[in-house]
Amino acid sequence: MEFGRLDEIRDELISLYEDLHANPELSFQEHRTAAEVARRLVALGLEVTTGVGGTGVVGVLRNGDGPTVLLRADFDALPVAEQTGLAHASTRRGTTADGTEVPVMHACGHDMHVTCLIGALDLLADARQRWSGTVVAVFQPAEEIGRGARAMLDDGLLERFPEPDVCLGQHVFPFEAGLVGVMSGPSMSAADGLKVTMFGRGAHGSQPQNSIDPVVMASAAVLRLQTVVSREVGADEAAVVTVGSIRAGSKENIISDRAELLVNIRSFDEGVRERVLEAVRRIVRAEAVASGAEREPEFERSTEFPLLVNDPEATARTASAMRSGLGEDAVVELDRAMGSEDVGLFGTAAGVPTCYWFIGGTDPAEYRAAAEKGTTARDIPSNHSPFFAPRIEPTLTTGIRALTTAALEWLD
């Protein structure tokens, strides 16, 4: 397909991207974003439904008989204080579900995902003579907390809109802008978030003998949890256990009566996943017993992401189309990622293949220089970093062309 139309709309899309980046919204609070998306889809002639799964937006582009292709973009942001120094950097603040005021930033590139999908829909709407079938554009809320895809499915996504024959999507990632990275098979890890509460007995800081100190209890558990992967997961398996937060007490001379741990677990195999989850529970309970706790720890599942499996045949077909459309050297093979995504729920629920790929978002010269020095982990900001800011071009153009080319491959 020729992409001449893209030259006409590029400046407008860049403005859209900068506006979205400057105005991020937390999960299930994406009201401004959803309204802007809906407005633009209506202008493109799509059938538009808002409020799907809370704040989700679905646009349907019908063009005769043929396959139905689901294209997905997520649009929530993160509680991160932006430090990019960009003219369009976010200064927004929001309130989390527990009432905490936080800074908000598009630190994972969801603003780029939205802009690319709107650009691809513009190209597809303008080139109806080139294809037939139906495009279902899903703009999903709350990916960052792993609940948005499930919310849209629970709200009847597959019953209310044309059921897809394939689910396609993409994510910006810190490698060379201008490249598309593909993975086949298990591609992004399952992720489980646990909120663990350990209970002690409060006392005055001068009388620790009267307490059951939950800070010591939790600290011992954190150290012991580091042995789960090193001693209970085989060398040919993969898992990560991270304690991302530990909270207890309010003053230096008060021993609290409880401590809270936020634990993140990632894995690529269901057996490993269950084994690690059970090890975490076992260790926490054992440390509570060792400390003389009078109450059992409590475990609350805070997030749950499925393993993302890219259908091998669908991935090979899509990658071949993108190599033809974008250039042989523009498509590279990537190793599986320990990051997580809930996009796979759509294909699983519909019983159809999923193909999800990555687009590079880092200045190519900067990336190559860091790679040559072996300092990419230090010098190249990753997703969720306060310094993460995809280079707008050629990232935007590459993402639009990749989505459009992939969609056309699956449409008649």
Write out pLDDT tens, residues 219-234.
Answer: 999 999 999 999 999 9
- The reply to whether 190-305 shares the fold of 4-188+307-410 is no
pLDDT at 98: 87
pLDDT score of 379: 96
Three-state SS across the chain? CCCHHHHHHHHHHHHHHHHHHHCCCCCCCCHHHHHHHHHHHHHCCCEEEEEECCCEEEEEEEECCCCEEEEEEECCCECCCCCCCCCCCCCCEEECCCCCEEECECCCCHHHHHHHHHHHHHHHHHCHHHCCEEEEEEEECCCCCCCHHHHHHHCCHHHHCCCCCEEEEEEEEEEECCCEEECCEEEECEEEEEEEEEECECEECCCHHHCECHHHHHHHHHHHHCHHHHHHCCCCCCEEEEEEEEEECCCCCEECCEEEEEEEEEECCHHHHHHHHHHHHHHHHHHHHHCCCCCCCEEEEEEEECCEEECHHHHHHHHHHHHHHHCHHHEEECCCECCCCCCHHHHHHHCCCEEEEEEEEECHHHHHHHHHHCCHHHHCCCCCCCCCCCCHHHHHHHHHHHHHHHHHHHCC
Q: Which residues, in sequence order, are bridge partners of residue 201?
A: 212
pLDDT value of residue 172: 98
Tokens of 92: 């927004």
Residue 236 phi, psi dihedral angles, 5° rounding: -95, 5
Which CATH topology does 190-305 take? Alpha-Beta Plaits (3.30.70)
Widest CA span in the chain: 80
Of 138, 139, 134, the closest CA to residue 68 belongs to 134
Buried b / exposed e along 351-388 (16+ C-beta atoms within 10 A): ebbbbbbbbbbbbeeebeebeeeeebeeebbebebbeb
CATH class of 4-188+307-410: alpha beta
* Amino acid letter, 29: Q
CA distances from 371 to 204, 335, 338, 379 (A): 53, 16, 20, 9
What are 74-86's pLDDT values in tens digits? 999 999 999 999 9
Low pLDDT (below 70) residues in the chain: none
User: What's the pTM?
Assistant: 0.92
Q: Identify the pLDDT of residue 4.
A: 81
CA dist list (Å): 254 to 196, 251, 402: 21, 6, 57
Count of other CB atoms within 10 angstroms of residue 97: 10
Q: Where are the domains of the chain?
A: 4-188+307-410, 190-305
| Contact status, residue 388 vs residue 24, Cβ threshold 8 Å | no
Q: In what order do the strands lie in the sheet with 298-305?
A: 239-248, 258-267, 190-199, 298-305
Q: How far is CA 167 from the centre of its chain?
A: 16
| CB atoms inside a 10 Å sphere around CB 276 | 24
Give dist(CA 55, CA 50) in Å, integer.
Answer: 7
Residue 367: per-residue pLDDT: 96
Neighbouring CB atoms inside 10 A of 284's CB total 27
How much is the pLDDT for 147?
96
For residue 79, give the amino acid letter.
P
The pLDDT score that the predictor gives to residue 3 is: 77
* Cα radius of gyration rounded to whole Å, the chain: 23
